[in-house]
Structure 1
Amino acid sequence: MQNNNFAATLASVASEFGVEDTAKHGRGIKPSKRPYFRWTDEQLEQLATLRDEGKSANEIAEALGVSRDKVITKL
C-alpha cells in the first residue's frame, strides 16, 4: 500500500533527525474530542431561506440548532 510506504519513509527520515515515533509510546496523535460537523441538505435549504428573509446569524443559528460561528462560516 502507498500509505505503508509513506509511513516507512516518514519513520526513516524522522530517525535520521533523532525523532522517535511517539505512537510506539502511547503519545501519538489523539482523535478529536469533537465529531466532525456535516450540514444536512435540509439545514442548507433552511439556511438559505432564513438568509434570504434577512435573518441575523444569531437567529439562523438558533433556528437550526447550530452555533453562530458555524452559520457565519457557511455563509
Structure 2
Amino acid sequence: MKSLNDSLRDEFNDILQREEYKKIIDEKNLDLNILKKAFDTLLKYKSDADMIDKSKTEFENFLINYFKSQKNDN
C-alpha cells in the first residue's frame, strides 16, 4: 500500500509530465531532480501543522540556493 507521500510524489510526477509543464521545464532549462527534491522538502513536515511554515521556508531556500549556485557556475 502506498503512503500518502508516495501518492503525492506520483501526482507531482504526473503533473511534471504534462505537455504545458514539460515545455516550461525545457524552455527554462530546469532540472527535474531539483524540482523533485524541492517537492520532497514540502512533504517532509506536511503532517505537522506547526511545521508547515518551516516546510515552505525550506522549499524556498532549497530552490533559491540551487538557482544561486547555478548562476555562480555560469
Q: TM-score, normalised by structure 2?
A: 0.27
Larger % of helix: which? 2
Q: TM-score, normalised by structure 1?
A: 0.27
